[in-house]
Chains A and B, each alone.
Chain A
């Protein structure tokens, strides 16, 4: 396998923040099936999802098809979007699940992750707390500020769909190093994403 180490440099401009209107467009689609807002969402997301699918092994025709289908699902499920989360994260999960279904013929078992569901939790285990608010808008800059070696393992996991073992083989790194880089990256992002109360 040759996952060229040049990739992180080629895509170093992770600072590209999504337009702030994404959430409004999603709301307009959810509330009154607004086609113009859908068109804007499509024009922003579909080309990126097509790239995502190609990175994960789809040929251009299939990638185009999967990008289109992701956006059709965005239309259909817009009412389920939780406005406390980043629109791009929600669309990412739809694209991710579609590629697992179509490219791997598997599924990813999921649970509801939203804050509201946590508030209803009745386990009485002391975890009923107001979750920190994420400042997800800063995330692209934060990713750009991570060390290149951490960005490299993140990209292989998210965009090549590689397991830790496969990432280790691709980069000729011990498994423990792959895991510690991912762990460090998440810890750093988590602390940086949280706004001071």
Chain B
């Protein structure tokens, strides 16, 4: 897998800082699983977080704080010396997403959103005013032209799409900010399956878009 499109470094910094929504973090984690380059950038942004923490002015603790902490660790068993394994992507499905799709991408409980477009909304992921969903776009189908109230991150898991920005294939992440309007079209013989998170409502333009808006229901 050759990844050509990455998240903005500013977004990776926000992720490391813990300043993105849960839904956005889900898409970024899935991309990170596939992308050594972005893992390295997040690692560096995390080191920055450590340096900033170290540079903070210490706040005085309550009397007896250490004694209380020592009493607590007496009751806490230490975890084994293990490293959290990174899931290996199977079937184009990053391990981050595996809990929702035990039978893989072949058996997603899709709901039809519009002709040629199916979606699955992730239960139990809090995206604030935005959403996080899996989209399946049938070959040749174009999504309505739309813009964004906030950011939209799209990770391609299978197939590919083209829009005004470029061509996006498996592993690529398309990041759009509010200034960009786009109309993605699935451009291969396979449905394009992608993971999409927004942190605010989408804005559709045109007649088709206005019809689409209530269906999207965000």
Query: B53 and A91: CB pair below 8 A?
Result: yes
Query: B17 and A161: CB pair below 8 A?
Result: yes
Q: Which residues of A contact B14 (CB under 8 A)?
A: 157, 163-164, 182
Q: In the bound complex, how far is the Cα of B81 from the Cα of A67, in angstroms?
A: 23
Within 8 A of B (CB), among A52-72: 52, 54-55, 60, 63-64, 67-68, 71-72
The interface bits of chain A over 6-29 (1 if a CB of B lies within 8 angstroms of the residue's CB, else 0) are 000001011111100000000000
Q: In the bound complex, how far is the Cα of B89 from the Cα of A9, in angstroms?
A: 46
The interface-forming segment of B59-67, B138-146, B156-164, B205-213 is B59-67
Within 8 A of B (CB), among A77-123: 77-80, 82, 85-93, 95-97, 99-100, 105-114, 116-118, 121-123
Query: A157 and B50: CB pair below 8 A?
Result: no
- Which of B28, B52, B84, B150 is close to A158, meaning CB atoms less than 8 Å apart? B52
Query: B39 and A113: CB pair below 8 A?
Result: yes
Query: B28 and A143: CB pair below 8 A?
Result: no
Query: B48 and A143: CB pair below 8 A?
Result: yes
Q: Which residues of A contact B218 (CB under 8 A)?
A: none
Query: B83 and A112: CB pair below 8 A?
Result: yes
Query: A108 and B18: CB pair below 8 A?
Result: yes
Query: A125 and B1: CB pair below 8 A?
Result: yes
Q: In the bound complex, how far is the Cα of B80 from the Cα of A33, in angstroms?
A: 12
The interface bits of chain B over 112-141 (1 if a CB of A lies within 8 angstroms of the residue's CB, else 0) are 000000000000001000000000000000
Which DSSP category, helix, strand, loop or mixed, fits chain B's interface? helix
Q: In the bound complex, how far is the Cα of B88 from the Cα of A39, in angstroms?
A: 38
Interface centre among A42, A92, A107, A176 (most CB of B within 10 A): A92
Interface size on B, residues (CB 8 A): 78
Interface size on A, residues (CB 8 A): 99
Q: Which residues of B contact A43 (CB under 8 A)?
A: 66
Whether a CB of chain A sits under 8 angstroms from the CB of B29 is: yes
CB within 8 Å of A: which residues of B?
A: 1-3, 8-15, 17-22, 25-26, 28-30, 32-34, 36-37, 39-62, 65-66, 68-70, 72-73, 76-86, 88, 96, 126, 150-151, 177-179, 199
Given A35-B73, A113-B46, A186-B12, 9 new contacts (CB under 8 A): A13-B55, A47-B59, A79-B80, A80-B82, A80-B84, A111-B96, A143-B48, A158-B49, A178-B10
Q: Can you name 15 A-B pairs with beta carbons within 8 Å?
A: A11-B57, A50-B61, A79-B78, A80-B81, A87-B50, A111-B32, A111-B33, A111-B96, A112-B86, A136-B47, A139-B47, A139-B48, A139-B50, A157-B19, A189-B48
